[in-house]
Amino acid sequence: MVSGTLIFAFATYALMVWAFLWGKNRFFHMPVMVSVMLIDIGFPVYLVMTKDWYRRLIEQEEILSFMIWMHFILVLFLYALYFLQTQSAIKLMRGDESVRDEHRNQGKGILIARGLVILSAAMLIEPVDQG
């Protein structure tokens, strides 16, 4: 059974890829990208509020797991790319065309990093007991 949060993450990823490919349509590209970034920033808050992290990380000692730390570092990397992407987007909106290639390459990096974040999150989902 696939987790609802995973389905949501895949759907927002598909929407982000679509917005990336339609980058020339600013009225679609900008709101979608900003919305997905805000969703990604708020997603850990949702997870903390709805999951039993104390049991999982402390009682089951998963805090020492390489996979947990790899996922955490990927999320931090994604947030750093979001910051850089936002800075270059602001420059583009002010008319500085010299950052267009940088902005596009950062977008490619975000798509790769976000895909890896979703993939690592999928590997960390606890299996549901079918009993």
Report the C-alpha gap between 72 and 76 in whole angstroms: 6
Matching residue, tokens 């602001």? 90
Confirm whether 43 is domain-assigned. Answer: yes
| AA letter at 107 | G
Specify the number of domains making up the chain: 1
The pTM score is 0.88
Confirm whether 131 is domain-assigned. Answer: no
Residue 45 makes CB contacts below 8 A (sequence gap 6+) with: none
The domain in which residue 67 lies consists of: 4-124
Confirm whether 83 is domain-assigned. Answer: yes
Q: Could you read off the pLDDT of 63-122 as tens digits, one per residue?
A: 888 999 999 999 999 999 999 999 999 999 999 999 999 999 999 999 999 999 999 999
Residue 87: is it exposed, middle or buried by C-beta count within 10 angstroms (0-12/13-18/19+)? middle
Confirm whether 129 is domain-assigned. Answer: no
